[in-house]
């Protein structure tokens, strides 16, 4: 039962982070959530998109960083 409570707290904190990033791009939001330890599927759920879109956004962000 405690694990469910922790999941709920993590989700609330993620939603607060997203709310504070209203003007940020979806890619930036995805990157921040990834750094926070969320999976692509979890990020997709929070951003209301697909895991494939999140994966592609993170790939492009990593590629730009390495250039």
For residue 10, what pLDDT is reported?
86
Q: Which residue has the tokens 């979806």?
A: 26
Confidence of residue 65 (pLDDT cuts 50, 70, 90): confident
Confidence of residue 1 (pLDDT cuts 50, 70, 90): very low
pTM above the 0.85 mark? Answer: no
| pLDDT tens-place string over residues 8-62 | 888 888 888 888 888 888 899 999 899 888 999 999 999 999 999 999 999 998 8
Rounded CA separation 1/54 (Å): 30
């Amino acid at each position: 039962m405690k694990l469910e409570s922790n999941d709920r707290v993590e989700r609330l904190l993620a939603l607060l982070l997203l709310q504070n990033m209203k003007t940020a791009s979806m890619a930036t939001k995805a990157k921040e959530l990834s750094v926070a330890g969320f999976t692509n599927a979890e990020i997709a759920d929070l951003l209301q998109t697909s895991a494939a879109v999140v994966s592609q956004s993170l790939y492009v962000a990593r590629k730009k960083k390495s250039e």
